[in-house]
Amino acid sequence: MPIHRLNHAVLFVRDVARSVGFYRDVLGFTPIDGSGGLRGAAFLRAPGSTNDHDLGLFQIGADAGDSPAGRSTVGLYHLAWEVDTLTDLRQLATALAEHDALVGASDHSTTKSLYGRDPDGLEFEIAWIVPAALLDEDALRGRMRIKPLDLDREIARYGADIPGGIGISRLAAAQ
């Protein structure tokens, strides 16, 4: 049975209440009832998700050190979530900037991405995927080059409220 999507992610955090506040207030996740009796744990659902939960948070305490992954150890670099429209991406860019959590914005040609960090410094990506019908040769050739994201230019090119598409890897597999 092939895997076809990520169901949820679980993060270790210093302060679960602080992290719940960030994911709720900045990214729009909804805390759900039922920590399963686990103290210092929380489960959240992304807006529009049909999952039981998309994010689990487990508190390990204020004295926990930063993750050395990518600096001195192997480990997860980031999670990536999709948004439906470039309007959604713009709203999240504003929210992340207001909370001093926006650390980058990249144009990957076939995806338009924001990068943020949560209160514990854990990085995540938020992406809008260019719909397959709107992909042109320029986008397909440029997908391995990363450029700074000009969100105004992309909105002018694709429209603010065009729903994002399927990933390029699924498009290639279907051909």
- Per the structure, the complete domain to which residue 138 belongs is given by 79-168
pLDDT on residue 173: 45
Number of domains the chain contains: 2
DSSP class of residue 51 equals S
| Domain assignment of residue 3, yes or no | no
Q: Which of 53, 64, 66, 83 has the alpha carbon at shortest distance from 123?
A: 66
Report the CATH number that the domain containing residue 125 is assigned in CATH: 3.10.180
On whether both 107 and 49 belong to a single domain, the answer is no
pLDDT at 36: 60
- Whether residues 52 and 111 share a domain: the answer is no
The answer to whether the CB of 49 falls within 8 A of the CB of 30 is no
> Is 94 contained in some domain?
yes
Report yes or no on whether pTM surpasses 0.85: yes
> Is 85 within the bounds of a domain?
yes
Using 50 as the pLDDT threshold, list the residues of the chain that sit under it: 172-173
Residue 32 lies in a domain: yes
Residues 51, 107, single domain; the answer is no
Tokens of 116: 């943020």
Q: Please tell me the predicted confidence (pLDDT) of residue 90.
A: 98
Q: Which residues contact 153 (CB under 8 A, 6 or more apart)?
A: none
Residues 51 and 99 in one domain: no
